[in-house]
Amino acid sequence: MVSIQYKEESMFFMLAFLIFTIQEVLMTIYDLSDPRSK
């Protein structure tokens, strides 16, 4: 039961980190493609 709990928390952390990383990448791409940002 402890291992399952740990696994679920690990999955949630990985998912949150993945979403954060994707968001950062998308924002960077959007800034590079926006001519008004310069």
Q: Which two tokens stand for residue 1?
A: 């039961």
Q: CA 6 to CA 13: how far, in whole Å?
A: 11
User: Position of tokens 């709990």?
Assistant: 5
Model confidence at 8: pLDDT above 80: yes
Sorting pLDDT into bands at 50, 70 and 90, what band is 16?
very high
The answer to whether residues 29 and 22 touch, using CB atoms and an 8 Å cutoff, is no
Q: Give 36 or 17, the one with higher predicted confidence.
A: 17
Tally: H helices and E strands in the chain: 1, 0
